[in-house]
Amino acid sequence: MKAVIFAGGAGTRLWPLSRKKSPKQFERIIGEKSTLQLAVERLRPDFEFSDIFISTNVAYKEIIQKQLPQIP
């Protein structure tokens, strides 16, 4: 089984905290981790990193690689 996280939105509804270049899924809203990192953390008991896929916009590729270097 595979897990897919959808993280491609522009994050306009949480403005001014999130912006087009830094949508809410990449922001640290609660604690030290982004909401994307927290989503992956919740999946980890049941999924290996190699079985977690992030569906996103190409513009966010570098942000995701920086926040989640474990995801291939």
Question: Is 53 within a domain?
Answer: yes
- State pTM to two decimals: 0.80
Count of beta carbons in the 10 Å neighbourhood of residue 52: 20
Each residue's pLDDT tens digit, 42-63: 999 999 999 999 999 898 899 9
Return d(Cα 57, Cα 35) in angstroms, integer. Answer: 17
Q: Report the distance separating Cα 49 and Cα 69, nearest Å.
A: 10
Q: Quote the number of domains for the chain.
A: 1
Q: Does 72 map to a domain?
A: no
Domain assignment present for residue 28? The answer is yes
Residue 15 lies in a domain: yes
Determine the structural domain holding residue 24 and report its residue range: 3-67
Cα 69–71–72 angle (5° rounding)?
A: 105
9-19 confidence digits (pLDDT tens): 766 666 665 55
